[in-house]
Amino acid sequence: MMGAQVDDASGAALRRDADVLIIGGGPAGSTAAILLAERGHRVALLEKAHHPRFHIGESLLPANLPLFERLGVADQIRAIGMEKWGAEFVSPWHGRSETFLFADAWRKDLPHAYQVRRSQFDEILIRRAARQGATVIEDCRVRQVEFLEGAEGARVEAESEDGTRVTWRTRFVIDASGRDTVLANQLGAKRRNKQHNSAAIYAHFRGAERYPGSRAGDISIYWFDHGWFWFIPLADGATSVGAVVWPYYTRTRSCSVRDFFLATIQMCEPLAARLAHAHLVSDVEATGNYSYSSELSCGTNYVLLGDAYAFIDPVFSSGVWLAMNSAVAGAEAVDTCLKNPARAGAALRRFDRTMQRGPREFSWFIYRVTNPTMRDLFMHPRNLLRVKEALLSVLAGDIFGATPIWPSLGLFKGIYFASSLANLRRSLAAARSRRRNIADPEASVSSS
């Protein structure tokens, strides 16, 4: 049980104690809460919203599935998920599409993932955290974190929706606040990613055309002149569609975000065809300027998880997996820091290496996937020395632990560089065009 006491006679501010205070109950925060509560720590998980709540990020990766088993939520997620066996890339420049099946990746035991409604998925995780013994408090926003001298932990100010203020005393703080980046903001550590700059506009439709059989749940990625679209079929018949566009394109908007989005879809003929008989069933939302990372992932008594640490372009559907995997690494590090302080330094360094690996491996592809050489490789994949299997393992999220993909992935990158050199003029033109595309640092679209 958490310790709690009233601070003064009026009862206005409560003081409560925890071993670990987690800011944010998304996939990262709830995963960390489950794992740390299971290890006997007194965990407080504060979430500013109330689940179920909408969140974007509905396409999951196969590498996430063993973790669902470990967290004890696999059956619940299977029940709400749409099976996703592959990812289709549709290229107007090649006039065709290429489908990658996860069953063809290096590891043959992770052949599928799920598409999920995040309102359901995130609620499963946060309720599991409560069942495993974490104190879960919703409608409660963390306002301020004050770190105490040495290894004394921190004081955390939180405010509930009804105005109740609580001061928490905690030995360790985990920031899993997602794109709110509570600690990175407070520490002045957040840096916009200058190598990638785009915005997203998205909504849910009903009546979109689905592929038959086992392909019904595949994600489709449609490239077009100003960026790319996702098409994510959900289990209840709805389809999530989003456009990720370069900043200059968002500046051309002279109508509502809804009309802008619908007009943008019409620029992509194969996607427009699949939506010809579909209608919007949600508001159209927009998110601007959205790739960043924090200069640090941890300190003496805090760690940053998931989007609270870094956000990369969602083209490979990596966000939820990176967030949950960071929570596994974070829980391991926090457990060591609390139980064995002499090993804290090594544990936090190990955690930091995990945090950097995910964004680094995916970003290598994200920065290049709009390049014609990379698109050629995606459209004509060959499995020379298992390079296609290695690429598919990245697309499946199998990049942590003792995976044997690295030599073949290195060869894939070598082929990419050799092809770029062989088409030098095209490569230079693509590099110039990319510089122009990411050039506008102020671009954003707001929902209206």
Ligand X SMILES: Cc1cc2nc3c(=O)[nH]c(=O)nc-3n(C[C@H](O)[C@H](O)[C@H](O)COP(=O)(O)OP(=O)(O)OC[C@H]3O[C@@H](n4cnc5c(N)ncnc54)[C@H](O)[C@@H]3O)c2cc1C
Residues found near ligand X in the complex (CB under 6 A): 23-29, 46-49, 55-60, 141-142, 176-180, 182, 200, 202, 242, 287, 290, 305-308, 314, 317-321, 323
Nearer to ligand X by C-beta: 71 or 320? 320
CB 351 within 8 A of CB 303: yes
In the bound complex, what is the minimum distance in angstroms from residue 166's beta carbon to ligand X?
A: 12
**Residue 307, SS3 per DSSP:** helix
In the bound complex, what is the minimum distance in angstroms from residue 285's beta carbon to ligand X?
A: 8
As a whole number of angstroms, the distance between CA 240 and CA 237 comes to 10
CB 397 within 8 A of CB 63: yes
Nearer to ligand X by C-beta: 32 or 344? 32
Nearer to ligand X by C-beta: 28 or 33? 28
Question: How many residues are present in the chain?
Answer: 448
- 170, 295, 296, 355 from 188: Cα distances, Å: 22, 9, 10, 19
Nearest to 427 by CA among 370, 364, 388: 370
Tokens of 445: 């679209």
Tokens of 51: 């689940």
Nearer to ligand X by C-beta: 23 or 430? 23
**Residue 134, SS3 per DSSP:** coil
CB 314 within 8 A of CB 57: yes
CB 173 within 8 A of CB 156: yes
- Angle among Cα 267, 268, 271 to the nearest 5 degrees reads 135
Nearer to ligand X by C-beta: 123 or 389? 123
In the bound complex, what is the minimum distance in angstroms from residue 47's beta carbon to ligand X?
A: 5
CB 306 within 8 A of CB 314: no
Nearer to ligand X by C-beta: 303 or 344? 303
In the bound complex, what is the minimum distance in angstroms from residue 205's beta carbon to ligand X?
A: 16
In the bound complex, what is the minimum distance in angstroms from residue 120's beta carbon to ligand X?
A: 13
Residue type, 360: R
In the bound complex, what is the minimum distance in angstroms from residue 52's beta carbon to ligand X?
A: 11
Tokens of 182: 């509570």
Nearer to ligand X by C-beta: 26 or 153? 26
In the bound complex, what is the minimum distance in angstroms from residue 296's beta carbon to ligand X?
A: 16
Q: Is the dihedral of CA 226, 361, 100, 87 positive or negative?
A: negative
As a whole number of angstroms, the distance between CA 299 and CA 188 comes to 14
In the bound complex, what is the minimum distance in angstroms from residue 46's beta carbon to ligand X?
A: 5
Tokens of 240: 């999530």
As a whole number of angstroms, the distance between CA 274 and CA 303 comes to 43
The pair phi, psi for residue 190, each rounded to 5°, is -80, 130
Nearer to ligand X by C-beta: 98 or 138? 138
* Residue nearest to ligand X according to CB distances in the complex: 26
In the bound complex, what is the minimum distance in angstroms from residue 267's beta carbon to ligand X?
A: 18
The 10 Å Cβ neighbour count of residue 305 is 34
- Angle among Cα 398, 403, 404 to the nearest 5 degrees reads 125
In the bound complex, what is the minimum distance in angstroms from residue 201's beta carbon to ligand X?
A: 8
Tokens of 212: 């038959």
